Amino acid sequence: MTTNPSLTIASMRERLRSFLSKVWEPYRSVPLLGWLLGALVAVGVEQLVGLPLARILGLTKIPALFGTVVILDDPLLIPSALLFTFLIYILPIGLVARFTTPITNRIAAKLMDYPLIVTAVIHLVLMYAVLHIWGDISDYRVLVARLAMISIILTLSLNVVNGYMGEFSCSHPGFMSIGAYVASAFTIVLFVSENRFGEALLPESMGPFMFPLALILGGIVSAVGALLVAIPSFRTRGDYLAIISLAFMFIIKSLFENLEVVGGARGISNQPNYATLPIVFLWTVISIWIINNFVRSTMGKALNAVRDGELAANAMTVNTRKTKMAAFLFAAFWAGVAGGLFAHVLRYINPDTFGIRKLAEVLAMVYFGGLNSVTGSIVGAVGLSLISEALRPLDIYKWIIIPIILILIMIFRPTGLVAFTEFDIERLFQPKEETSEGAEHVTA
Amino acid sequence: MSLLEVHDMTHYFGGLRAVHDYSLAIDPGQIRGLIGPNGAGKTTIFNLITGIYHPTEGNIVLDGEDITRFEPNQIADRGLGRTFQNLRLWRYLSVLDHVKMARYSKLTYGLFGAFFGTGRRVREEKATDALAMELLELVGIPHLADQIVTNLPYGAQRRVELARALATEPKVLFLDEPTAGMNPEELIQMMAIIRQVHSEIGMAIFLIEHRMKVVMDLCERIQTLNFGEVIAEGTPEEIRNDPEVIEAYLGKEVVI
């Protein structure tokens, strides 16, 4: 009797799959609330016993990003890092999520009776609490979290153009830099006393309140910049936008390089520290909410219609030109806001930051996460941010590995990890199973 | 004065004269047909009237308004809905979204509503949902509302296109070969649907067909086109017996 090796591999894979689905089974009914509760407990546990546990496991400090950075830094510590991640994150989240399922489901069901905003705020507060406690361990975490969230805004806004609208825009770093410079100039001129722009014009205490204004201003200016790209390139479809927008990116870069008033190639620094974790979190939430609102409306779906058949869209009363313009400017606005936040996180920007490498990064996040999908953009932005941090020890080789990952994604999932889905906020918060009250009703 | 009038429309593609001195007058509620051999310029006439091309000469008047230079979306908004010969559905949109999309110009919530999900937007989207479902029921596919169009059989895709065109609230509905590629059973269903839609909504219909049976059954008056010119116009009976039409379709009888 001969055994076919591929058959045994197939059967093993089948067995593994059935094992995993059996393990996963009880978690199907965990609502988002349950996961958040689990995460809250996990970060709480880490706060309390993280450091001693890390020491016991032979780690010098708590692994910053779930052990990903350790993997390349010191391969011998991989088992310890994995064990730490399991004990601190996976185990508590798993246990709490599973054993609170009946309670969280009931609470989630109760929350459905209130307006969506109440439910949303409760979830967001929990989410922020998790993030805050998690970030409390080290400043590095806070920095990574803020940059990842800014990447979410940027990726989403590019997805509007490259995914939902199906055009190919390369000018996002340009829009981002406009937003970054405008917002920086705004806050520095008004609230910071330094050599370049002189004395602060307004009391420093007003700064944080005026910061949203700076960001919005940056967004608006970059939307105006987008108009310069949109007018010539939306007369036709095809590669024009890609070429014109690429040119625009380089023009903007060299504009800032030669603009001595904002520091030229040396860039601009001393931005006040306004882009704190809660502020960035808030802006990310707002951007997700607004962009998701847009792409789920009929006005926003007109973008898909334009992408999948402009002629038919036009014949069905869609003003295709206006739709494309509005979406492009909208995307540029959010890129500008992301740029403004970015400048106030790093508190130093130069024109070189917003070059071809930034473009590659954002494009990678969009195509990695998935076209035409809000979830995909979030996954892509966070995923690639983490991978990028994990690969930091490799230095320049990082830029070989990330493209390889992208190529693999393109081969196996050509539209990205989570493409063409709708992000239904209401469904996100829903209970995942009949509550016991509901069950009682059925039996009674 | 008729609902839709086309006066002496001529169109050139470069040096090629695709349509020559074409005139048309459709009254409210009328069903008109346009037939002719392949390449006669039928679809070009549709594209000219619906604004995809602009005619070199002549003008088009819909309900007293000159729409000759209007963009397709403006013309559609004014009440000229159409379907396409080779289905032009949107690959990643659901059936319901297709129909809703054709309400685009009727939505008033604007970008502000789209961004912030205002109450007005919620109301309008809900009303549009209901209207779209009604139309899907009219064409007999309400159960497919959530499907992605690419998963549907051909006959159902044709119905989606019809429902979508109806959602623009057309005063005149242009159907470009509504039964192309259908089997006899689907053809009969489609004809029944067109009849039903016409009797319930009562708009005028202008249709291109290849199959004589469909045109002869549905239309009150028929135009026959050859090489971009109308060679005959009349009732189905007149068209059937017109020697020029027979010649255009079957060729000249040669007496040896």
CATH number for the domain harbouring residue A403: 1.10.3470
Domain boundary among A101, A135, A169: A135
Domain membership of residue A90 (yes or no) is yes
CB A322 within 8 A of CB A234: no
Q: In this complex, do A319 and B104 lie within 8 Å of one another by their Cβ atoms?
A: yes
pLDDT at A111: 87
Phi, psi of A323 (to 5 degrees): -60, -50
CB A363 within 8 A of CB A202: no
Whether B117 has a pLDDT exceeding 90, the answer reads no
DSSP per-residue string spanning A59-125: -SS--TTTTHHHHHH-GGGHHHHHHHHIIIIIHHHHHHHHHTHHHHHHHHHHHTTS-HHHHHHHHHH
CB A66 within 8 A of CB A93: no
Q: How confident is the model at residue A438 (pLDDT cuts 50, 70, 90)?
A: very low
- Out of A434-438, B86-90, B113-117, least confident range: A434-438
Give the whole-angstrom CA distance, residue B35 versus residue B99: 28
Q: How confident is the model at residue B181 (pLDDT cuts 50, 70, 90)?
A: confident
Whether B105 has a pLDDT exceeding 70, the answer reads yes
Tell me the CA distances in angstroms from B140 to B31, B137, B162, B197, B230, one per residue in order: 22, 5, 11, 11, 36
pLDDT at A378: 95
Whether A216 has a pLDDT exceeding 90, the answer reads yes
Give me the residue from B50, B107, B167 closest to A299, CB to CB.
B107
Residues A107 and A220 in one domain: no
CB A342 within 8 A of CB A349: yes
Give the whole-angstrom CA distance, residue B97 versus residue A315: 15
Give the whole-angstrom CA distance, residue A147 versus residue A286: 16
Residues A393 and A409 in one domain: yes
Residues A376 and A335 in one domain: yes
Q: Which long-range contacts (CB under 8 A, 24 or more apart) does A81-84 make?
A: A83/A57, A84/A53, A84/A54, A84/A57, A84/A59
Give the whole-angstrom CA distance, residue A261 versus residue A195: 12
Q: Which amino acid is at B7?
A: H
A304 touches chain B (CB under 8 A): yes
Domain membership of residue A444 (yes or no) is no
- Out of A5-14, A161-170, B83-92, least confident range: A5-14
Whether A7 has a pLDDT exceeding 70, the answer reads no
CATH topology classification for B4-250:
Rossmann fold (3.40.50)
Min distance A323 CA to chain B CA atoms (Å): 10
pLDDT at B255: 63
pLDDT at A302: 94
pLDDT at B252: 67
CB A287 within 8 A of CB A337: yes
Min distance A305 CA to chain B CA atoms (Å): 6
Q: How confident is the model at residue A444 (pLDDT cuts 50, 70, 90)?
A: very low
Q: In this complex, do B89 and A309 lie within 8 Å of one another by their Cβ atoms?
A: yes
Using a CB-CB cut-off of 8 Å, the residues of chain B touching A305 are 90, 93, 101
Give me the residue from A298, A307, A309 closest to B103, CB to CB.
A298
Using a CB-CB cut-off of 8 Å, the residues of chain A touching B110 are 299
Among A298, A320, A328, A330, most B C-beta atoms within 10 A, so best to mutate, is A298
DSSP per-residue string spanning B10-22: EEEETTEEEEEEE
- Out of A6-15, A42-51, A239-248, B74-83, least confident range: A6-15
pLDDT at A73: 74
Residues 55-114 of B with CB under 8 A from A: 71-73, 76-77, 82, 84, 88-93, 97, 100-107, 109-111, 113-114
Using a CB-CB cut-off of 8 Å, the residues of chain B touching A165 are none
Whether A107 has a pLDDT exceeding 80, the answer reads yes
Residue A16 C-alpha from the chain's centroid: 32
Q: How confident is the model at residue A151 (pLDDT cuts 50, 70, 90)?
A: very high
Q: How confident is the model at residue A60 (pLDDT cuts 50, 70, 90)?
A: confident
Q: In this complex, do A312 and B90 lie within 8 Å of one another by their Cβ atoms?
A: yes
CB B217 within 8 A of CB B190: no
Pair of tokens at residue B229: 């010119």
Give the whole-angstrom CA distance, residue A84 versus residue A55: 10
Among B77, B92, B131, most A C-beta atoms within 10 A, so best to mutate, is B92
Give the whole-angstrom CA distance, residue B75 versus residue A199: 59
Residues A127 and A156 in one domain: no
What single DSSP character describes residue A144? H
% of chain A exceeding 70 in pLDDT: 95
Handedness of CA B208, B213, B219, B224 (dihedral sign): positive
Q: How confident is the model at residue A232 (pLDDT cuts 50, 70, 90)?
A: confident
Give the whole-angstrom CA distance, residue A190 versus residue A197: 9
Q: In this complex, do B88 and A309 lie within 8 Å of one another by their Cβ atoms?
A: yes
Q: How confident is the model at residue A443 (pLDDT cuts 50, 70, 90)?
A: very low
Rounded to 10 degrees, the C-alpha dihedral A303/A307/A311/A312 comes to -70
pLDDT at B196: 93
Phi, psi of A421 (to 5 degrees): -120, 160
Q: What is the ipTM of this complex?
A: 0.90
- Out of A175-179, A194-198, A319-323, B28-32, least confident range: A194-198
As a whole number, mean pLDDT of residues A118-143 equals 92
A444 touches chain B (CB under 8 A): no
Whether A326 has a pLDDT exceeding 90, the answer reads yes
Give the whole-angstrom CA distance, residue B32 versus residue B24: 10
Greater confidence (A204 vs B100) lies with: B100
| Mean predicted lDDT score pLDDT of chain A | 88
Instruction: Name which of A432, A429, A437 is nearest A122 in CA terms.
Output: A429
Residues A30 and A144 in one domain: no
Instruction: Name which of A48, A52, A71 is nearest A60 in CA terms.
Output: A52
Using a CB-CB cut-off of 8 Å, the residues of chain B touching A299 are 104, 107, 109-111, 113-114
Pair of tokens at residue A313: 């869209």
Phi, psi of B72 (to 5 degrees): -50, -40
Residues A115 and A249 in one domain: no
For B65-183, where are the alpha helices, taking DSSP H only? 72-77, 95-101, 110-116, 119-138, 154-167
Residues A150 and A61 in one domain: no
As a whole number, mean pLDDT of residues A258-284 equals 91
A301 touches chain B (CB under 8 A): yes
- Out of A117-131, B21-35, B239-253, least confident range: B239-253
β-bridge pairing B204-208 and B31-35: parallel
Q: Which domain holds residue A99?
A: 7-135
The model's pLDDT over A384-399, given as tens digits with 9 standing for 90+, comes to: 998 888 888 787 888 8
As a whole number, mean pLDDT of residues A164-170 equals 91
Q: Which amino acid is at A394?
A: L
pLDDT at A175: 96
SS3 (DSSP) at B103: coil
Residues A252 and A373 in one domain: yes
Whether A204 has a pLDDT exceeding 60, the answer reads yes
Q: Which long-range contacts (CB under 8 A, 24 or more apart) does B200-204 make?
A: B200/B138, B201/B166, B202/B28, B202/B29, B203/B28, B203/B29, B203/B170, B203/B171, B203/B172, B203/B173, B204/B3, B204/B4, B204/B26, B204/B27, B204/B28, B204/B29, B204/B30, B204/B31, B204/B32, B204/B171, B204/B172, B204/B173
pLDDT at A186: 93
Among B47, B90, B157, most A C-beta atoms within 10 A, so best to mutate, is B90
Q: How many helices (H) and strands (E) are present in chain A, helices listed first?
A: 20, 2
Whether A102 has a pLDDT exceeding 80, the answer reads yes
Handedness of CA A377, A380, A383, A389 (dihedral sign): negative
β-bridge pairing A268-269 and A348-349: antiparallel
Q: In this complex, do B104 and A316 lie within 8 Å of one another by their Cβ atoms?
A: yes
Tell me the CA distances in angstroms from B186 to A135, B140, B193, one per residue in order: 63, 12, 10
A297 touches chain B (CB under 8 A): yes
Whether A409 has a pLDDT exceeding 50, the answer reads yes
Domain membership of residue A436 (yes or no) is no
β-bridge pairing B172-176 and A268-269: unpaired
As a whole number, mean pLDDT of residues B204-211 equals 90
Domain count, chain A: 2
As a whole number, mean pLDDT of residues A104-124 equals 89
Residues A25 and A44 in one domain: yes
β-bridge pairing B80-82 and B172-176: parallel
Domain membership of residue A100 (yes or no) is yes
As a whole number, mean pLDDT of residues A52-70 equals 82
Q: In this complex, do B114 and A297 lie within 8 Å of one another by their Cβ atoms?
A: yes
Handedness of CA B197, B199, B204, B206 (dihedral sign): positive
Min distance B96 CA to chain A CA atoms (Å): 11
- Sheet of strand B16-26: strand arrangement: B16-26, B4-13, B57-62, B65-66
Phi-psi region of A416 (alpha: psi -120 to 50; beta: other; left: phi over 0): left
Min distance A235 CA to chain B CA atoms (Å): 14
The model's pLDDT over A178-201, given as tens digits with 9 standing for 90+, comes to: 999 999 999 999 988 887 777 888
Residues A274 and A347 in one domain: yes
Domain membership of residue A443 (yes or no) is no
Phi, psi of A15 (to 5 degrees): -65, -45
Q: How confident is the model at residue A4 (pLDDT cuts 50, 70, 90)?
A: low
Domain membership of residue A40 (yes or no) is yes
**H/E run at residue A375:** helix A374-390
Instruction: Name which of A326, A328, A320, A303 is nearest B51 in CA terms.
Output: A320
Give the whole-angstrom CA distance, residue A275 versus residue B193: 60
Residues A65 and A166 in one domain: no
Residues A109 and A166 in one domain: no
